[in-house]
Structure 1
Amino acid sequence: MSRLDVTESFQGIKFPGHMHTEESLNFATDFKFEETDTLIVTYPKSGTTWMQEILTLVLSKGDPTIAQSQPNWARAPWLEQYYCPEVLKASSGPRIITTHLPYHLLAPALQHCKAKVIYVARNVKDVCVSYYHFHKMANFLPDPGTFPEFLKNFLKGDVHYGSWFDHVNGWTGHAKNFQNFFYITYEEMFQDLRGSLQKVSHFLQCTLCKEELNLAEKHCSFNSMKENAMVNYTLIPKEIIDHSKGKFMRKGKVGDWKNMFTEEQSGLVDEVYFSQMADSSLLFQWDQPGETLVPLININNSASGEILLLT
């Protein structure tokens, strides 16, 4: 399947036609989840690959064999992409499934479902920069134009997968609708990978001993993933992802947006952010540790099913 120049529109949202069809998107929205499923939910460029690797290593007790021998799209397939049914048909045991779909498209399928949902969010400025660079190397995404042009479209939600604001607000705003919901940010994983691994393992009820935790931490570090062909997308042909134009695993930092944004652009994003997120209890970290920070709030699912706000 190529369709590199095709944009698939589905319920008002644009998707890359290379991996998405009307049939595959309908499959996703009508999907029958099992209570043993774990669903990773992200807006693009928010830590998706990282969480796929974390789950793989937690569930394998730190053993890197699967992480280093199976591509991430085979062990944690995107629900809305056309190949997903075949991958899931061949899988056995508890399934890891990934999605970029907004809440309203998957809400009916997840209603009254006991599947575990992990939502990973990243601050909007770093997402925008990372997404822009990804557009430049991913031939299945439209030409982003200049960064100011891309930023304008991004803030309007006129990009593939829709609005970052709608995506984050949709999923986190309905967290109480899920029996098993876990929220974490890219920034928290960056600052405290070991602690994040422990939180994820606790949520999955898959406790790791010290040695297993050490192995998991080692193999899902950014540097390790950057060299792992199973997650750095170097297996993908150049006509689909052109690595001569950039790297999929680019920097993996927090606050890199400051190397791209002008002061005026940053102020514009702040204005849109505080308007769009006015009703949200989520606050994001914009910079590296030690710089000016915004307090970080985590939503985690308790044993009783209540949503806890932890500062």
Structure 2
Amino acid sequence: MTGLRRYRTVVSDSALWAGFRFRDGDVVISTPPKCGTTWMQMLCALLIFDSAELPRPLTEISPWLDATTYDTEAVIAGLESQRHRRFVKTHTPLDGLPFEAGVTYVCVGRDPRDAMLSFEHATANIHPDAIAAGGLDQHDGPPPAEDPLERFREWADAEFTPESAWFGVSLANLVHHVRTFWDRRDSPQVVLFHYADLKADLPGQLGRLATALSIDIARQRLEELATAATFDRMRNRADELAPGVDANLWRSNKDFFRSGTSGQWRDLLDHATIEHYQRRVAELAPPDLAEWLHRGRLR
């Protein structure tokens, strides 16, 4: 782990990757929170098992390896016992992960404004018992503002930090996470997807993933498998697919899959806040990355 940046929050620690032994063919799914992590896990599962029926809940097949809320030794032992191709979840950026030959690193980007609102809905859905059990009610710092516009501005203005007493969620951290992949997007081991592209052409993006993972699959089969990863299908299987179901994390597993839509920020943000946001993005990201984050369509 020498030379890697260490990322720590109240629920994760990237140093836990030191205990994991990679295999040729492993897939690491590394996304900012609420940018399509579970969606990408499902797409990997569909291709690797060539089936919409999973042998176990998704969170057990594809665990969050560096989460501190789980028994890390048990998680790693479970991954060691897997005989199928492994795909592992993390919210650690690429500069905090061991970069191993033969491993594919997948990132999903999303319009940061949508990610921020989705995160707010997700935190409101966390069960109070899970908050207390995980120590999530013990985080330092001032409480979030009651005004949603003020919370948005606080999120936009927060500085990047690899260590956070809460979840490390800010515009700066999201842009930094994606940029660690963007700057290495020409590597054959690095693959970038965008939430909007997945929504626009799920079979086509599933085909992109198959190519990246060197999985030979017919177009007709891609179409069939992609139907299992639509929002409604995944929401109907929430007890099997939502993260944290084994720990009773959510008030409602179905509400983890809240809407799957984009652009809801337009109903919240006024003109001044949008301009403020745009200036902040320009400070954090080069123009090509900023355009891709908001529009997708990687060329």
**Pairwise same-fold verdict (TM > 0.5):** yes
The one-character-per-residue Cα deviations of 1:235-254 (angstroms, maximum 9, x if unpaired) are 3565x32229x811011012
For 1:16, which of 7, 10, 14 is the aligned residue? 10
SS in 2 for 1:97: strand
Alignment coverage as a number of residue pairs: 268
Return closer, same or farther for 1:29/1:272 CA change in 2, 3 Å cut-off: farther
Name the SS for the 1:131 alignment partner: helix
Instruction: Please state how far the C-alpha of 1:270 moved relative to its aligned partner.
Output: 1.1
Q: Residue 183 of structure 1: SS of its match in structure 2?
A: strand
Q: Distance in 1 between matches of 2:185 and 2:125?
A: 34
* Offset from partner CA, 1:137-176 (integer Å, 9 cap, x none): 2235567543234324422146513511211112222334
Aligned twin of 1:272: 280
Aligned twin of 1:180: 189
Question: 2:242 aligned with 1:232, yes or no?
Answer: yes
Match of residue 140 from structure 2: none
Higher relative contact order (CA 8 A, sep 6+): 2
Q: Among 7, 20, 23, which residue is 1:34 paired with?
A: 23
TM-score, structure 1 length as denominator? 0.76
Taking the aligned partners of 1:38 and 1:234, their CA distance within structure 2 comes to 20
Residue of structure 2 equivalent to 1:307: none
Between the aligned partners of 1:194 and 1:281, the Cα distance in structure 2 is 24
Q: For the Cα contact (< 8 Å) 2:35–2:195, is it kept in 1?
A: yes
The answer (yes or no) to whether the contact 2:7–2:92 under 8 Å persists in 1 is no
Match of 1:151 in 2: 152
**Counterpart for residue 63 of structure 2:** 77
> Compared with structure 1, are the counterparts of its residues 247 and 260 closer, same or farther at alpha carbon in structure 2 (3 Å cutoff)?
farther
Of all paired residues, the percent bearing the same amino acid is 18
Q: Which letter maps to 1:227?
A: N
Task: Find the partner of 2:204 among 182, 192, 195.
Answer: 195
Match of 2:47 in 1: 58
CA contact (8 A) 1:194 1:213 kept: yes
- The answer as to 2:102 corresponding to 1:129 is no
Aligned in 2, Cα 1:161/1:90: closer, same or farther, shift over 3 Å? farther
- 8 Å CA contact 1:135–1:144 kept in 2: the answer is no
Distance 1:242 1:154 in 2: 25
Aligned AA for 1:105?
A: G
Unaligned 5+ runs, structure 1: 1-10, 287-293, 299-309
Instruction: State the secondary structure of the residue aligned to 2:269.
Output: coil
Once the two structures are TM-superposed, the CA of residue 59 in structure 1 deviates from its matched residue by 1.8
Distance 1:208 1:27, change over 3 A: same
Q: Which residue of 2 aligns with 1:118?
A: 106
In the aligned structure 2, how far is the partner of 1:12 from the partner of 1:207?
Answer: 36
In the alignment, is the contact (CA less than 8 A) between 2:182 and 2:289 conserved in 1? no
1:174 partner SS: coil
State the AA in 1 paired with 2:273.
Q
Is the alpha carbon distance of 1:279 and 1:233 closer, same or farther for their aligned partners in structure 2, counting shifts above 3 Å?
A: closer
User: 1-side partners of 2:17 and 2:176: how far apart?
Assistant: 19
Aligned 8 A contact 1:120 1:184 in 2: yes
Is the Cα contact below 8 Å between 1:71 and 1:231 reproduced in 2?
Answer: yes
Correspondence list, 1:292-311, <5 A? 294=295, 296-298=296-298, 310=299
Give the aligned partner of residue 209 of structure 1: 218
Q: Deviations over 1:55-94 (max 9, x none)?
A: 1112222x2121xx52221111112124431321221132
In the TM superposition, what is the alpha-carbon distance from 1:54 to its structure 2 partner?
Answer: 0.7
Structure 2: runs of 5+ lacking an equivalent: 138-142
**Matched position secondary structure for 2:214:** coil
String of CA shifts for 1:21-50, please: whole Å, max 9, x gaps: x6xx42215643222101111000000010
2:150 pairs with 1:161: no
